[in-house]
């Protein structure tokens, strides 16, 4: 299974986070029971420069922040809004590739909007939320 995990750069410095860490943690408020070790993950940056900026895989099942295995990889200093409380559920991800700009190969929101399959995914049609699932065809 593949998940898209969306972050808002107005609330959290996603670019800096992906530049610092090869293992990250992401909020998993929904679909957490569906997430399994080895599932693929796409990190999506919201906003004016929206698009897929990193790929990785789940290495730690969703659990409360206070119980994660590597708290040094939380990047709590990168929050521009309120830091997550200890009971927020996070999923552990190993990052395999990061592409923060069009020049480096990020996949833009416009590219997905023009794709006959991906144009119907919720990340395009209703991008409210943090966790989205890709169908087998979309993957």
- Residues 26-42: tens digit of each pLDDT: 999 999 999 999 999 99
Per the CB < 8 A criterion, the answer to whether 94 and 56 are in contact is: yes
Check residues 69 and 84 and name the one with the higher pLDDT: 69
- How far apart are alpha carbons 23 and 92 in whole angstroms? 7
* Residue 111 backbone dihedrals phi, psi, to 5 degrees: -65, -40
Has residue 20 got a pLDDT over 90? yes
Cα–Cα separations (whole angstroms), residue 72 to 13, 25, 66? 16, 10, 12
Task: Determine the pLDDT at residue 39.
Answer: 98
- Which pLDDT does position 75 carry in this prediction? 95
Dump strand ranges (E) for the chain. Answer: 2-7, 23-27, 40-45, 51-64, 89-98, 107-108, 131-134
Task: Please give the pLDDT value at position 117.
Answer: 93
Mean pLDDT (the chain, rounded): 95
| Structural element, H or E, at residue 109 | helix 109-113
Is a pLDDT exceeding 90 seen at residue 48? yes
Q: pLDDT band for 15, please (50, 70, 90 cuts).
A: very high
pLDDT of residue 89: 97
| Neighbouring residues of 133: CB distance < 8 A, sequence distance ≥ 6 | 1, 2, 3, 4, 31, 34
14 CB-near residues (< 8 Å, 6+ apart): 7, 43, 45, 53
What percent of the chain has pLDDT above 70?
100
User: Residue 17: pLDDT above 90?
Assistant: yes
Residue 83 is predicted with a pLDDT of 87
Q: How many of the other CB atoms lie within 10 Å of CB of 139? A: 11
């Amino acid at each position: 299974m593949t998940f898209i995990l969306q972050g808002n750069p107005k609330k959290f410095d996603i670019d800096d986070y992906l530049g610092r860490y090869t293992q990250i943690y992401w909020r998993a408020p929904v679909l957490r029971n569906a997430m399994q070790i080895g599932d693929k993950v796409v990190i999506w940056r919201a906003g004016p420069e929206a698009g897929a900026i990193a790929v990785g895989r789940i290495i730690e099942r969703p659990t409360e922040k206070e119980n994660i295995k590597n708290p040094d990889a939380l990047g709590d200093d990168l929050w521009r809004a309120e830091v997550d409380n200890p009971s927020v559920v996070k999923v552990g991800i190993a990052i395999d590739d990061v592409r923060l700009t069009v020049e480096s190969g990020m996949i833009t929101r416009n590219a997905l909007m023009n794709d006959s399959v991906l144009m119907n995914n919720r990340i395009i049609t209703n991008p409210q939320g943090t966790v989205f699932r890709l169908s087998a065809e979309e993957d």
